[in-house]
Amino acid sequence: MLKYYKTFFLFLFLANSISAQQRDLKLLRGKVVSNTYDLGGINVVNTRDDSFVLTLQNGFFQIKAAVGDTLVFSAVQFKGIKVKLKQSDFDRDVFEVKLQVQVTELDEVVIDENKISAVSLGIVSKNQKKYTPAERKLYTATTGSGLVSFDAILNAISGRTTMLKKELVLEKNGIVMQKITNWFEDSYFIEKLKIPADYVNGFKYFIVDDKSLVDAVNARNKTLTTFVMGNLAEKYIKLLNEK
């Protein structure tokens, strides 16, 4: 009988411990950043229980975790890192993790002084448009060799073209965000626009979806950009207060 009670209380203790741990878990919203636009498929592992998720193409991810948990970020193209979570990480609008690209050193290659290029060989014209990586992938997926190809039809049916269009938007948003970061220091957002320090990056992600802001930045009109950001800051602060 005594053995039965010991087993019962041990089971009750373990059940309470597991329940307490589960109550501590929160949904962490994060984003991986790097100097490359290919941020999809990165492994994010919580060593607490080996649960894991994969990042989306734009680097965003969500995972259940608690203060003190360790997250491991790994991918073939990046140097793996471990991050121990603090309370401040959960308080942020977006928890950011910066990854460094894995650089593989190659043996020295001697190139002939004669510059050979697609232009010099007559493959492409001198004034042919240069595409960004996302534009190039979208162009290839939708046109093939310049005509409507079988691949283009297949891509349209499978949804790959839609995915590439979204990737192109994300690439352009990233370029706009970088210009804004170069123009304005964080102190401007905090002191002038009254954006809380922990939400500055979240505000940047918010405003790059606004067409008037994007047009102003692309036109290199800093005065108009400042005006538009002021209006968007009021909307963003209102959204924060409604949370």
Residue 216 lies in a domain: yes
In a shared domain, residues 188 and 137: yes
In a shared domain, residues 215 and 144: yes
Residue 56 lies in a domain: yes
Mean pLDDT of 178-193: 92
Encoding tokens for residue 47? 């060593």
Q: What is the pTM of this model?
A: 0.39
CA dist., res. 81 & res. 97, Å (int): 9
In a shared domain, residues 162 and 209: yes
Residue 18 lies in a domain: no
Mean pLDDT of 44-73: 92
159 DSSP 8-state letter: T
Residue 60 lies in a domain: yes
In a shared domain, residues 94 and 173: no
87 is in which domain, residue-wise? Answer: 26-98
Burial class of residue 105, CB neighbours in 10 A (0-12, 13-18, 19+): exposed
SS3 45: strand
In a shared domain, residues 94 and 139: no
Q: How many CB atoms lie within 10 A of CB 196?
A: 15
In a shared domain, residues 198 and 137: yes
Query: What band does 41 get if pLDDT is binned at 50, 70 and 90?
Result: confident
Contact status, residue 52 vs residue 45, Cβ threshold 8 Å? yes
SS3 32: strand
The answer, yes or no, to whether residue 137 has pLDDT greater than 90, is no
Q: What is the CATH number of the domain that holds 65?
A: 2.60.40.1120
**The 3-state secondary structure of 56-102, one letter per residue:** CCCCEEEEEECCCCEEEEEECCEEEEEEECCHHHHHCCCEEEECCEC
Please give the helix or strand (H or E) that residue 52 lies within, else none: strand 51-54
Query: What band does 22 get if pLDDT is binned at 50, 70 and 90?
Result: low
The answer, yes or no, to whether residue 19 has pLDDT greater than 50, is no
